[in-house]
């Protein structure tokens, strides 16, 4: 991958970092009626949120202010979902630990 930096106007300078050429897989979205294409590379996405994440990460210098705002919103939603997932894992592991310790204590007291 080659890294390049873009030096256009000041607004895109603060949001554009190194950009990378992302290989576009061959996809056929003809069977998916409600696919949302990227406005820059025509890559199809099943959800607008995924397209917004793609546009903000792969095309930060080309995207408009509205698209960048949609990217930031999608990124915040993604972070919230990831935090929720991590909390579910922590609670599940805690409960599993409690069940094993409680079971072990019950077995040891019976002996």
Domain ranges for the chain: 3-110
Q: What are residue 96's phi and psi, to 5 degrees?
A: -65, -45
Mean pLDDT score, 60-78:
94
Task: Identify whether the C-beta of residue 46 lies closer than 8 Å to the C-beta of residue 29.
Answer: no
Cα separation, 88 vs 57, in Å, equals 27
- Which of the pair, 69 or 111, is modelled with greater confidence? 69
Q: Is 46 helix (H, G, I), strand (E, B) or coil?
A: coil
pLDDT digit string, tens, across residues 21-68:
766 666 555 556 778 888 998 888 888 999 999 999 999 999 899 999
What is the reported pLDDT for 1? 45
Task: Identify whether the C-beta of residue 63 lies closer than 8 Å to the C-beta of residue 55.
Answer: yes
Cα separation, 90 vs 10, in Å, equals 42
Cα separation, 103 vs 87, in Å, equals 24
Structure-token match 């890294």, residue found: 3
- Compute and round to an integer the Cα radius of gyration of the chain: 22
Instruction: Collect all residues with Cβ–Cβ distance below 8 Å to 10 and sequence separation of at least 6.
Output: none
């Amino acid at each position: 991958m080659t890294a390049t930096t873009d030096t256009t106007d000041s607004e895109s300078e603060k949001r554009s970092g190194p950009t990378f050429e992302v290989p576009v897989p061959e996809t056929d979205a003809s069977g998916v009626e409600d696919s949302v294409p990227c406005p820059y590379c025509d890559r199809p996405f099943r959800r607008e949120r995924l397209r917004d994440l793609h546009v903000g990460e792969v095309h930060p210098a080309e995207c408009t202010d509205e698209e960048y705002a949609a990217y930031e919103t999608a990124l915040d939603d993604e972070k919230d979902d990831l935090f929720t997932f991590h909390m579910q894992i922590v609670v599940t592991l805690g409960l599993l630990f409690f069940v094993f310790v409680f079971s072990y204590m019950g077995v040891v007291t019976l002996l």
